[in-house]
Structure 1
Amino acid sequence: MARKHILHMLTPLKQMSPFDVNMALDAGFDAVVPYVGVTLGEVTGLVQDAIFSRPPDAGVNTGIFIAGKDVSLALDMFDAAKKAMVPPFEISVFADPAGSFTTAAAMVAKVEKALEKKFSRGLKDARIVVFGATGVVGFCTAVIAAKEGAKVTLAGHDGAERVGKIAAEIASRFQVDVSPADGSTADKKAVLVQASDVVLSAAKAGIQVLSKAELKDAGNLLVAADVNAVPPAGIEGLAVNADSAALEGMNGVGIGALAIGNVKYKTEFGLFQKMIGSKKPVAFDFQDAFSLAREIAK
């Protein structure tokens, strides 16, 4: 009898996201078991319960999913899960807190594709400003883009202090440099946009980050992308279904939340399927998400 594919889903929050549960089951897992309120110190014990309850050759049929809404904590839990393995007892691990890894991967992949198709250039040395940089998607987007050689600026809606701390954490954890900037007023946001090739909006749903007035003088802008599908749009005038559509009155193009979301969905679904289909245990984080999103983005 074939072994069941079992996924243990860990979150430090009081609830597991129904989105991730549905996604994992639709991707082919036979059983999905949520564990809520999980602390970093509890990860090792849970992982070792999972690995020692099945024979070593069942490692490919067992997985751990790391959720939550804190990127740094999720990565610490991801590392703890990998360190908890006792070869030959090993299982697969996939981290995607609040869907941020796959969403950020999809956003950067779509921007990269637009730059290549529309402007015959890539991410390297592209001047990118991230609005909503204190959130999980903004954080991951900045890291992925910076690792690809982009010159990334984090715009702080409440000043430069909080994004400065995030920039320091990114430098310490990932050894890439991003710059903090004050984006607390319309004039300051306009200046940041004017100095950028790419604008990324990753703020909370339903919050307009940039107005048309703040964009109107952005003569260098090549791509604007927004992950917010809840009205109002994060970038005024950018339709949710825009897919490298021309920006009104500008030379650049826009990418809306649904175009990004389509790649995000396929990326998370695809990584779950890779966990199920792999012949050996795998470990997936935002870098793996970006690699797959690049293959999917058109």
Structure 2
Amino acid sequence: MAKNILHMFSPLKHMSPFDVNMALDAGYDSVTPYIFVTLEDVTALVQDAMFSRSPKDAVRTAVFIGGKDAGLALDMMERFRATLLKPFEISAFADPAGSFTTAAAMVACVEKLLKKKKDKSLAKTKILIFGATGVVGYAAAVISALEGAEVTLAGHDGPERVQEKADDIKRRFGVDVRAIDTSTLEKKLATLQGVEVILCAAAAGVQVLPKACLAAAKSLLVVADVNAVPPAGIEGLALHDKGAELEGGALGIGPLAIGDVKYKTEAGLFQRMAASHKALSLDFRDAFVLARELV
């Protein structure tokens, strides 16, 4: 049987060792990183990967798209799909900075807790996302909006950057998300009114929500944070929390609880791609489907 070969593209100086390890443990025989890859490079690299093997062995070839830019990763996936040619199709999996699988795990954990403890689905749930200009926040916004949630992106430095993300989400996926200014404590407190779920994907070691904010958010049902570096992004939230009650009564999901599902999701998608008998094209939507099964 032909060996499983994985070509890993990163627009950055390095390919993530985390992703390399995950791919090898998932069953790939060969993993080759490519760095400083531009969007314009994708077509030629994919063609070389495709046409170097017979059609029957093409499915044993795959591409991974990393980096730290969700939009660029999605553009690279589009370029990848446009390059494929029957019967030489190969597989691809995009997960820039682990963001797609992390976001999928976070939203899946929140969805399960909402159903179990509050008898509520994501549809029409009012969700506020901190760290929305980052890759995890962006992907979580898209997943939630596609599930019918009413999503708002919080701008810690004003509304401009989050509005750009909201516009990008509308253009790519046809769903509406709001952008709002939370650059001061007063604006943040005003934004919290009516919010039912908070997803926190802010920078590591930055506390976004102190207990006073949690206490003031009377409608809040569930909060989740992916920051494992002290201090917690949400004050009072512990690393392994899976529904612990926080200040004000909201239920909290900690970063290591999310991380466990994220790890299994990324490993599972690598394994699925390595074992598949047909070419696959995997992104955050596939990650969310799997994460739902794992929580």
The 8 Å contact of residues 59 and 280 in structure 1, kept in 2 or not, is answered as no
Aligned mates of 1:55, 1:193 — CA distance in 2: 57
Secondary structure of 2:229 counterpart: coil
For residue 254 of structure 1, give the secondary structure of its aligned residue in structure 2: strand
Cα displacement (A) at 1:189: 1.4
Amino acid at match of 1:94: F
Higher mean C-alpha deviation, range 51-60 or range 144-153:
51-60
Query: Using the alignment, how far apart are the partners of 1:271 and 1:98 within structure 2?
Result: 15
- The answer to whether the aligner puts 1:3 opposite 2:2 as a matched pair is yes
Aligned mates of 1:161, 1:190 — CA distance in 2 = 19
CA deviations on 1:144-184 (whole Å, 9 max, x unpaired) are: 00000000000000011111111111111110000001111
| Aligned residues between the structures | 295
Shift of 1:229: 0.4
Q: Does 1:15 align with 2:3?
A: no
1:236 and 1:190 mapped to 2: Cα distance?
Answer: 15
Kindly state the Cα deviation for residue 195 of structure 1 after the two structures are TM-superposed: 2.0
SS in 1 for 2:24: helix
Which residue of structure 2 aligns with residue 34 of structure 1? Answer: 33
Query: Within 5 A, what are the aligned runs for 1:259-298?
Result: 259-297=257-295
What is the DSSP-based 3-state SS (H/G/I as helix, E as strand, rest coil) of the residue aligned with 1:44?
A: helix
**Which runs of 5 or more residues in structure 2 are unaligned?**
none
Aligned-pair CA distance for 1:236 = 0.8
Percent of aligned positions that are identical: 62
Deviations 1:21-61 (A, max 9, x none): 01101111111100000010110100110111111111221
Q: TM-score, normalised by structure 2?
A: 0.98
**Where do residues 199-278 of structure 1 align in structure 2 (5 Å cutoff)?**
199-248=198-247, 250-278=248-276
- Look up the equivalent residue of 1:260 and give its one-letter code: I
Shift of 1:186: 1.4
Q: Where does residue 189 of structure 1 map in the other structure?
A: 188
Kept after mapping to 2: 8 A contact 1:225/1:256: yes
Distance 1:236 1:192 in 2: 18
Distance in 1 between the 2:251 and 2:132 partners?
21
Match in the other structure for 1:47: 46
**RMSD after superposition:** 0.8
Partner residue, 2:56: 57
Structure 1 unaligned spans of 5+: none
SS at match of 1:8: strand
> Could you tell me which amino acid in structure 2 is paired with residue 234 of structure 1?
G
In structure 2, distance between residues paired with 1:19 and 1:163: 29
Instruction: Tell me the residue number matched to 1:136.
Output: 135
C-alpha displacement of 1:223:
0.2
Amino acid at match of 1:35: Y
Q: Is the 8 A contact 1:131 1:202 kept in 2?
A: yes
Q: How far off is 1:190 after superposition?
A: 1.8
Distance 1:251 1:216 in 2: 8
> What CA distance in whole angstroms lies between the structure 1 residues aligned with 2:92 and 2:99?
16
Counterpart position of 1:165: 164
Q: TM-score, normalised by structure 1?
A: 0.97
Moved more, 270-279 or 183-192: 183-192
Once the two structures are TM-superposed, the CA of residue 12 in structure 1 deviates from its matched residue by 0.6
Query: Per-residue displacement from partner, 1:105-163 (whole Å, max 9, x unpaired)?
Result: 00000000000000011000000000000101001100100000000000000011111
Runs of 4+ aligned residues of structure 1 deviating over 2 Å after TM superposition are: none
* Structure 2 residue matching 1:289: 3-state secondary structure: helix
- Residue 193 (structure 1) shift: 2.1
Task: Report the residue type matching 1:294 in the other structure.
Answer: R
Equivalent-residue separation in structure 2 for 1:240 and 1:191 (angstroms): 28
Amino acid at match of 1:281: A
- C-alpha distance in 2 between matches for 1:266 and 1:193: 32
Deviation at 1:194, TM superposition (A): 2.7
Residues in 1 aligned to 2:155 and 2:257: alpha-carbon distance in whole angstroms: 26
